[in-house]
Chain A
Amino acid sequence: MKQHHDHSHDRSFDDGPPSEYEIMSRAIQELLVERGVITAEQVRMRMEQFDADFPYRGPRVIAHAWADPGFKARLLADGKRACAEFGIDLEAERLIAVENTPQVHNVIVCTLCSCYPRALLGMPPTWYKSENYRRRVVREPRAVLAEFGTLLPEHVALRVHDSNADMRYVVVPLRPAGTEGWSEEQLARIITRDSLVGVTLPKA
Chain B
Amino acid sequence: MSLPSAYTEAPVRRFDVGDRVAVKAWYPPGHRRTPHYIRGKRGVIERVCGAFANPEELAYGLDGEPKRVLYRVRFRQRDLWPDYSGPERDALELEIYEHWLEPA
Q: Which residues of A contact B (CB under 8 A)?
A: 2, 74, 77-78, 80-81, 94, 96, 111-112, 138-139, 141-142, 154-155, 157-167
Contact B72 A167 (CB under 8 A): yes
Range for the number of chain B residues in contact with chain A? 20 to 34
Q: Mark B63-104, 1 if CB is under 8 A from A, else 0.
A: 000000010101001001100101101111111110000000
Candidates A81, A157, A159, A166; contact of B95 at CB < 8 Å:
A166
**Interface assignment of B37: CB less than 8 Å from any CB of chain A:** yes
The distance from the CB of A132 to the nearest CB of chain B, in whole angstroms, is: 16
Across-interface contacts of B58 in A (CB, < 8 A): 2
State A81–B4 Cα separation when bound (angstroms): 8
Contact A81 B5 (CB under 8 A): yes
| Chain B minimum-CB-distance residue to A2 | B58
* Extra A-B contacts (18), CB below 8 Å, given A141-B86, A159-B90, A160-B91: A77-B4, A78-B4, A94-B49, A96-B47, A111-B37, A141-B77, A141-B90, A155-B87, A157-B87, A159-B93, A161-B92, A161-B93, A161-B94, A162-B92, A164-B35, A164-B95, A165-B49, A165-B52
Name the residue in B86, B87, B94 with the highest tally of chain A Cβ atoms < 10 Å from its Cβ.
B94
Contact A94 B37 (CB under 8 A): no
Across-interface contacts of B12 in A (CB, < 8 A): none
Q: How many A-B residue pairs have CB under 8 A?
A: 83
| Interface pairs (30), CB distance under 8 Å | A2-B58, A77-B1, A78-B5, A94-B50, A112-B35, A138-B80, A138-B92, A142-B90, A155-B87, A157-B91, A158-B87, A158-B90, A158-B91, A159-B90, A159-B93, A160-B77, A161-B92, A161-B93, A162-B94, A162-B95, A163-B95, A164-B94, A164-B95, A165-B52, A165-B55, A165-B95, A165-B97, A166-B49, A166-B55, A167-B95
The distance from the CB of A46 to the nearest CB of chain B, in whole angstroms, is: 22
| Chain A minimum-CB-distance residue to B90 | A158
Contact A111 B5 (CB under 8 A): no
State A141–B35 Cα separation when bound (angstroms): 17
Contact B81 A139 (CB under 8 A): yes
Across-interface contacts of A158 in B (CB, < 8 A): 77, 86-87, 90-91
Contact A165 B89 (CB under 8 A): no
Across-interface contacts of B81 in A (CB, < 8 A): 139
State A166–B97 Cα separation when bound (angstroms): 10
Contact B86 A162 (CB under 8 A): no
The distance from the CB of A129 to the nearest CB of chain B, in whole angstroms, is: 16
Across-interface contacts of B47 in A (CB, < 8 A): 96
Across-interface contacts of B4 in A (CB, < 8 A): 77-78, 81
The distance from the CB of A86 to the nearest CB of chain B, in whole angstroms, is: 16
